[in-house]
């Protein structure tokens, strides 16, 4: 059996602070909100990340636990989101003012990348590869 997709896959992100996370993903990263839905005490936003949808789930009350940045490779499971972008250096330079924490950055002849933690502590890898 094979899956018969009706659309692309989505990555769900459960958030603690709706406004702060929208300010980061929508306003700072520039991801367009393509749809919104309210179901009871849960508000959901779909954000377009270059063709991949991030489904931002905002429950009320918000969850207490946040992601732990120091567990990037310390446990199995979905751990981080990679975004291939052109303006890595510009994004790094302004990330902290937008509420992100720069975890690591590196560059060599083929790749420039950085790992950022968003305001809730979720890890995002931004990268540019030279072919």
* Domains of the chain, CATH where assigned: 10-129 (3.10.180.10)
Nearest alpha-carbon partner for 121 in 105, 100, 104, 93: 100
Distance of alpha carbon 22 from alpha carbon 45, whole angstroms: 9
User: Can you say whether the dihedral through the CA atoms of 52, 124, 92, 63 is positive or negative?
Assistant: positive
pLDDT band at 69 (very low <50, low <70, confident <90, very high): low
Q: How far apart are CA 13 and CA 67, in angstroms?
A: 11
Instruction: Please state the length of the chain.
Output: 131
Least confident of 23-37, 65-79, 113-127: 65-79
């Amino acid at each position: 059996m094979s899956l018969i997709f009706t659309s692309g896959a989505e990555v769900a992100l459960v958030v603690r602070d709706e406004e702060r996370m929208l300010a980061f993903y929508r306003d700072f990263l520039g991801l367009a909100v393509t749809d919104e839905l309210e179901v009871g005490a849960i508000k959901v936003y779909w954000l377009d990340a270059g063709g991949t949808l991030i489904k931002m789930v905002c429950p009320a009350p918000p969850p207490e636990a946040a992601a732990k940045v120091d567990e990037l490779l310390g446990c199995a499971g979905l751990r981080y989101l990679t975004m291939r972008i052109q303006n890595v250096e510009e994004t790094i330079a302004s990330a902290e003012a937008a509420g992100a924490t720069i975890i690591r950055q590196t560059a060599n002849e083929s790749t420039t990348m950085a790992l950022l933690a968003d305001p809730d502590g979720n890890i995002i890898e931004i990268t540019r590869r030279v072919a």
